[in-house]
Each structure stands twice: as C-alpha cells, then as structure tokens.
Amino acid sequence: MSEQGFTCVNCGKQNWLGDCCPECAARTCDRCDITIPIDEENTPNCVFADWGRDEFTDGAYNVCDECLTVREIEQQILLNQKEQS
C-alpha cells in the first residue's frame, strides 16, 4: 500500500478499494453490455431465495437494474421482505 492508497493489480492505478480499483471491479451486464458499477449488479443470489436451484432463465449472471424482468423484480422484492423479517 502506498501513501495514496492501494495499487490496482490490473491497471496499476492508485485507489481506495484495495487490490482492484472500482473501474476494474465493475461488471458488464450480461444482457445489454453496459458497465455496472461495483456492488450494483443483480445476480441470482440477490434475486432468488433458492438461487442454487433458481437461475436467470437466459443464463445471465450479472444483470443491471434496467434489464431485470418484472418476474425477477417481484422475486427480488419477496426475497428482501423475507430477509428483513
């Protein structure tokens, strides 16, 4: 670690995150190819209660908010309600 923070092992930029800077840690949406900022992607485990059995039907893994289907949004709401109770 340098005085300015950490050095990204991928691009060499100084950053606050650690071994990987936020730009290199960002994911690409498997449905529309836009870049999803770090920790903002939707994966099966944050949409479905039984994500080992339930996966996105199209085989996607990282999905942006705009690409979630109505069913996936409904499942995500149910999961969040279950986790809060």
* Structural domain includes residue 2: no
Question: Is residue 20, in this structure, part of any structural domain at all?
Answer: no
pLDDT digits (tens, 9 = 90+) for 61-72: 999 999 999 999
Asked if residue 60 is part of any domain, the answer here is yes
Residue 70 lies in a domain: yes
CB 83 within 8 A of CB 65: no
Which percentage of the chain shows pLDDT scores above 70? 94
pLDDT, one tens digit per residue, over 36-62 is 999 999 999 999 888 777 789 999 999
Q: Is residue 13 part of a domain?
A: no
- Domain coverage including residue 70: 27-84
- 55 sits in the region (left: phi over 0; alpha: psi -120 to 50; else beta) called beta
Q: How far apart are CA 60 and CA 6, in angstroms?
A: 31
DSSP β-bridge partners for residue 14: 7
Q: Say whether pLDDT at 4 is over 80.
A: no
What mean pLDDT value characterizes the chain?
90
Type of residue at 54: D
Tally of structural domains, the chain? 1
Q: Decide if 55 is inside a domain.
A: yes
